[in-house]
Every structure is written in structure tokens, then in C-alpha cells.
Amino acid sequence: MPVVVGVDSSTQSTKVEVRDLDSGELVSSGRASHPSTGIAPVSQTNPTEWITAFDQAYAQASAQAVLPNVAAISVAGQQHGLVTLDASHKVVRPAKLWNDTESAPDARWCVDQRDAAWWASHVGSVPVASFTVAKLSWLKRVEPQNWSRVAHICLPHDYLSWHLRGGGAAEITTDRGDASGTGYWSPSTNSYDGEVLKIIDKSRDWSNMLPRVAEPLESTGQWGDAVIGCGTGDNMAGALGIGLLPGDVAISLGTSGTVYAVSAQATADSSAAVAGFADATGSFLPLVCTLNATKVFDSFANFLNVDLQQFGELAMTSNCGANGLVLLPYLDGERTPNLPDARAMLVGINSSHSRSDVARAAIEGVVCGLLDGLNAITNCGVDTSGRIFLLGGGAQSPAVCQIVADLTGKQVNVLNEPEIVALGAARQAAATLTGKWPSWVASSRIAAQPIATSSQCNDTRQRFVATRIKSYGV
């Protein structure tokens, strides 16, 4: 019975899943935490920590069962992180991660060099602090000595896949999904954009610095006897794990919040709300990301001196709209809208409001921000009329599921698989081995049906938008 291995190297931990090649049945799994990545605005780590975590997680998976022949492996990784290597393939400095916002001035500088419409037309997205291109600018500006040492640039999943191939002189590759989040690779042309790279450093020979972009089902090497898939970004792997179809929408509430859908056409949103990503199959994955998701729930549960279950129960005793209370949930700045220096605001509170209203407003603020992102994706011409899947830690909360159902007016589905990114990576490994996508995907169940009226839904969402515009002008 051959098996495949899917790896999810995320911000906080590495997860490994071993699955039966034919059925997709989970054989074993393992998990290992990563060290703390710092205090905002700094978020960085030594990439070798991902290797250590993978080794520990795979050892756990191996200890759970006597593994048969491992036929293929694929790695999904957190998007945008900047990994820099010198000419000897040694790490130059800690990897700057997606949620490091020290590069916010550099993102603005990039847009000042060319307008937003130029960026959108060239690479499908407008630079924000999260994107790798902004972090390249930061490195060149702030650490010129380190910049001069850089010979190779790659992404987190690229680095771990390269290690599986043996490191050293092994080729460093990436895939179109993760490459589309750098800000210097174009989903519409399937190539790196030389004009963008010249903005960062026109004196550099970029031809040997960047990883080759592999085809979706290309084998990029061997890990022992196992074929190595090209890997992809975590959001792209999530879409693979769900088996996302055109029209379907995925809303993920974890460390960050994301909303995305599959599209047959590339998107280019000059407003910078929608990132025009590619997916891992050859199509496209327009996506909106927010920095503040479940950590808002954690913070407000702490403020209210309750655990997360009690926090959700409190929220459900309030009404849709939290009796007029609005939270702008920007605890540590925000990516969408692009407000890196913003902070959270609880607006409209008076003596009649209760702890329940505060809890409800906290969840509604996070959800409204993501649903504004969904509107932006729809406005790019993408079909979003299909099913809604709620993912991540937030999907475990009945209150969050109900509030998403209320504010969308649609049934909310949750997945029966806890590690959707690792599952997607396992599907990619299987497809790399066999040349076709396996039929097995995550099963799902109905978590909530809308109970609020359409007028309550519209009032709540309009109040959120009006408060945001009044407070921040966007």
C-alpha cells in the first residue's frame, strides 16, 4: 500500500500527514511547534527551524504506524516569507515572514515608483507589507551589508523542498501559486517581471537569484525513494484540500483571515484589496487577506475574562448588529485595507451595551472585514455564487459559523478534516506521482443556516463600512 506525505509548514508549526495513495485515508500524522517569531511589527525566524520541526513532525508520524512505501511528498508553506541564502547556500539572515510589517514603508515606496494600476497589470497585485517584494526593498534599504551577500532568494516552501532534495547544489524551485504572492512574478504571463525587479535593484543579475517555477504536476526531485512535488503556498494547498470548485468561496479564520475563490481568468485589482494569485493547478486564486482574525477573539475573550467557548456563548446572546456597537478589529495594523499603523477601535459604545454586545461586535468586526474582501473579489468579475466553506480555528466556534451565515445570508459548511493544508499538499504529492488529481478531498458538513433577516445583515455590514470610512478614510 503506497502512501503519500503532505506537509504544512505554517507560521506557528509544521504538520505532517501520511495518507493512502488510493483512498486518501489518513494513516498517521505529526506536529511540531516553531519558536516565537517576535513582537509586532517584527516577525521573523531562522529557516532551519522549519527543518527541525519537519524532522520532529515526521518522526511522530512514523512512530504512530509502520509506514509502507512512501511514494511521494509535497510541501505547502506560509506565503510571502523572504528566505535569503549566500553563494554557499547558507542563510544570510532570519526569514522575514508574511506578518512582519517593518516593510510597510517599502511597500508604499514601491507603489510610489509606479502607480497601483501599473503594479496590478504587471503582477496581478499591488504591493503591501506582506509581499516579498516589499521585504526585498526593506533588506536592501536597512541591511545593505546583508543585501550584498544574498545570492539566492526563495520562499518558505521552496526552502524546505530544497532541503528534502538534499540542499547544497540541488536546484531551488518554486511553483506558480506561491510565486504569485511575491509581487515580482506575473500570473498572467507565467514569468518573473524584470521591470519590477529593476525597481528593487537595477544593478543585480536576477537570472540566477530566483527559483525556477515548476509546472503544477512536475516532479522536482527525490526524497529517498519518494517523488517530490513542486509544493505551493498554504492558501493554494487549502483550495486543493477542499476541492474548491468555480463559484465556491473559502473563508479561513486563523492567525490571519483569508477569503478566496477559484477563477479561470487572472485578476488585476488596482485598489490593492484583491491579490491576483495563481493556484496550484493552472488556474487562478484571487484572494483577500486580513492580519486580524482569531487573535481578535482571543484578545476580547481575555478582556471579558472568559474562555473561547464562553466568549462565543456571550456573542450569541446579543443581536445581529450588536445593538449598534462596531469593532474595527485592527489590533496590530491591517493588510486589507492597507492600514499598517492602524489600531482597533470599539465605536458607538454607551451605558446600555453589555458584555454580550462587545463579544458579538468582536466577531462581527472580523467577519465584516472578510466579507468586504469577498465583495471585492466578486467585483473583479469572479463567480462567488457557490458554496461557502469556513476554515481554520474560527470554524470550530458555533458562534462564528452562525455569524458568517447571518452576514452572508447563506448556508455555512465546515470541513471534517482539521489539517486542510496538509491534505492539499498530500493531494498534490499524489497527483505528481500519478499525473492526475486524486478524487479524494475533505468531507464537509453544514454548520449553520442564516437566522438574521436580510435587513439586519445589510444594516450591520453597512454600519461597519461607514465606521471604517469615517475613522480611516478607506
Catalytic residue list? 234
DSSP state of 37: -
CA–CA separation, 227 vs 435, rounded Å? Answer: 12
C-alpha closest to that of 76 among 280, 277, 284? 280
Helices 104-113 and 132-142: angle between axes, nearest 10 degrees: 100
How deeply is 112 buried, as exposed, middle or buried, from its count of CB atoms within 10 A (0-12, 13-18, 19+)?
Answer: exposed
- What span, in angstroms and rounded, lies between the C-alpha atoms of 1 and 6? 17
| Cis ω before 68 (30° cut-off from 0) | no
**d(Cα 108, Cα 41) in Å, to the nearest integer?**
16
> Residues, the chain, total?
474
176 Cβ contact partners less than 8 Å away, ≥ 6 residues apart: 185, 187, 190, 213, 216, 278, 279, 280, 282
- How far is 35 from 19, CA to CA, in rounded Å? 27
Closest CA to 261 of 288, 290, 230: 288
Other C-beta atoms within 10 Å of 157: how many? Answer: 33
User: What does the alpha-carbon distance between residue 421 and residue 241 come to, in Å, rounded to a whole number?
Assistant: 6
